[in-house]
Every structure is written in structure tokens, then in C-alpha cells.
Amino acid sequence: MTFTLHTRGSHVRHAADGHRLIGLGSAHAKVILFGEHAVMFGAPAIALPLPQLETHAELRATPGEPSRIESALYAGEAAGAPEALRPVTAALENSLLVAGLYPRSFDLRIRSSIPHSRGLGSSAAVAAAIARAAAAAGNVHLKPGLLFSVVQQSEQIAHGRPSGVDARAVAATGPIRFQDGVGDRMSIGRRFHFVIADSGLPASTAQAVGLVAARRRQEGERIESLLFHLGDLAEGAATELASGDQDALGERMSEAHTALARIGVSTACIDALATTALGAGALGAKLTGGGLGGCLLVLARDPESATRIARKLRAAGAVRTWQATVSDE
């Protein structure tokens, strides 16, 4: 027999004998609608949650035993986890500290439907789910600022110098405008229908950010002008989202993709998928995330159009697609 205490994104179960403390936490994927790379230099970014893609973390107390991790990437003792799991082990340690559970030992089980290295916030969602699971197990109220701090520390290991938009977006309940560490909920004037297409190519945020920084040093004025333009596109998009002007928003998305391609973070595959989407009736299409692989984000006029575009994208080589509706409802 168990009883359950729910909090947002997490809950805790105590077995009847009181010995098997279990904390459960979850977080969702995200896409960047506008502001990739420009956000690193203080410009705004707009991010959308993808609640249909989730990560779930379970923490089960294991007194007297070493902490273990079970995931799709690794199964074994936490102390022996490979370098690629350092963001996870850091999230686990910091979360236990915040929850007042360190240095107790736990089994951490991670289950995720968010594809890894696709620009959809997988690493941030894992860290957020772990933090929420630890807070639930420790019966601690995890304030948004503290959750952000734990996730951001993990993201620094995963990506080097993250902007913080992923750490905010994977815990957000709706679209956010992010700038200088703050994510504000946005007003949405209608239902917007999006398709996300996975190119099948892994994306490295750290590599993409490094490339943009190097080109900014080499080509100064040209790259800075493009980054400024990306920030300006993000700023203007807030008005179109609020008014429900999907045609103008779609044009703005395609303009952002052109700027990102000129910076050098798009790929031939992403460009080809964007051309396919526009040919199938999309209102706009752009890469989402750091680039150099990952996913394409497409705006469709209605659900039927979204289904048609998704089918065309899969036929053109996208390994999988998802559909998402964004609104104030």
C-alpha cells in the first residue's frame, strides 16, 4: 500500500513500511521559435514547450548501497558513469543537496521520449526531472529559481556556456520570451499548428556556439549584423503571436532560417527539408536549436495541412515528425 503527494512535475510515494522512499519527477521537450545564437549576446529568444515529448525520473532510496543510474545511455553505478553522463551525475548530486538528501544513496531511473542531441532540450529536461524527483523525495518545495539553477549547472557541463533558455523552457507551462535569464509567459492570439521534423543528424550545441563565436571573431560586422537581425525577428514575433497573424509569423520564421544559414549553422539536409515543407504549403520553416543537425520547425495553416506536411517531410528523408499546437488554452 502506498500514498502519493503531488506537486507540479513531480510526486513522491512512501511505501507502507516507510523504508522505500520514492520520488518521481518529469519535464518536457522544447523548441526554439526565434532567437537561436542571438540569445547568447543578450537578444531575446522565444521558446515553445513540447509536452508530448517527456522525460521521467525516479529516485528510489537504497540505504547501504552505492547510487546507481539506469538509462538508455548507461546502466551501472553512478560513480562509474562515463564522461558523457557527467551532466546527469552533476544534476543528481546537486538535486540531492538541494533536497537535503545528500549523501544518501539512490537508484536513479530515467525514461525519456525526447531524442538525444536534436536541439529539443533533452539534457535540460533530464536535469529538471531529476531535480523534481529529488525535491519530491525530500518533501522540499522547489522554487523556479532553484530549479533553474540546478538545471543550468548541468547544462554548463553539457554545453559549455548555455544561454539558459533550455533550462527555463523545459519547465515552462506555455510559450516564453527569454532574455537575460528570465523567461516570461507570452500571450497567444490563436491556435498555431507546428510540425517538427527530425533530420536524423545529431546536433551539438557546444560545437554550434563555438562555430558562431569563431566566425564572429573572424567576420565581425557581418556576423554581428545577422545576430542583431535574429534578435530583431524574435522581438517582432511577440506581436504576431499575440495577434494571431500566422502568415506574418511564417514569413518571419523563413527569414530567420535564411539568417541562420548565412551564419553557417544550417545543413544541406535541413535546407532541403525546409524547401520540401514550403513546397507542401507551409507558412514558414526554420531550423530550431543550435543547428549543424537536429530538427526543422514548420508552421502549418491548420491541422490537416500539418498532417500533409509531416507526410511529405518523412518522404523527403525526415526520420520522424511530431505535431504540436500552441495556444493560450
For 84-110, the DSSP string reads GGHHHHHHHHHHHHHTT-TT--EEEEE
For the stretch 169-225, pLDDT in tens is: 999 999 999 999 999 999 999 999 999 999 999 998 889 999 999 999 999 999 999
Is there a cis peptide before residue 103, judged by omega within 30 degrees of 0? yes
With cut-offs at 50, 70 and 90, classify the pLDDT of residue 20.
Answer: low
Q: What is the pTM of this model?
A: 0.91
Contacts of residue 202, defined as CB under 8 A and 6 or more positions apart, other chains included, come to 116, 117, 118, 293, 294
Contact 30, 219 (CB under 8 A): no
The closest alpha carbon to 284, from 236, 259, 310, 252, belongs to 252
Segments making up each domain of the chain, as ranges:
2-184, 187-326
Instruction: Using a pLDDT cut of 70, give the percent of the chain over it.
Output: 94
Structurally, what CATH architecture does the domain formed by 2-184 represent? 2-Layer Sandwich (3.30)
Q: What is the mean pLDDT of residues 78-104?
A: 96
Model confidence at 16: pLDDT above 90: no
Model confidence at 12: pLDDT above 60: no
More confident residue, 296 or 328: 296
Parallel, antiparallel, or unpaired: how do β-strands 106-112 and 68-70 relate? parallel
Average pLDDT taken over every residue of the chain: 93
pLDDT of residue 10: 61
In this structure, how many other beta carbons lie within 10 angstroms of the beta carbon of residue 100?
Answer: 13
The closest alpha carbon to 46, from 207, 185, 223, 212, belongs to 185
Range of weakest confidence among 4-8, 85-89, 114-118, 302-306: 4-8
Q: Left (φ > 0), alpha (ψ -120 to 50) or beta: where does 117 sit?
A: left
**Terminal Cα distance for the chain, rounded:** 37
Topology of domain 187-326, per CATH?
Answer: Alpha-Beta Plaits (3.30.70)
The closest alpha carbon to 177, from 35, 28, 53, belongs to 35
- Beta bridge pairs of residue 57: 25, 110
State the burial class of residue 290 (Cβ atoms within 10 Å of its Cβ: 0-12, 13-18, 19+). Answer: buried
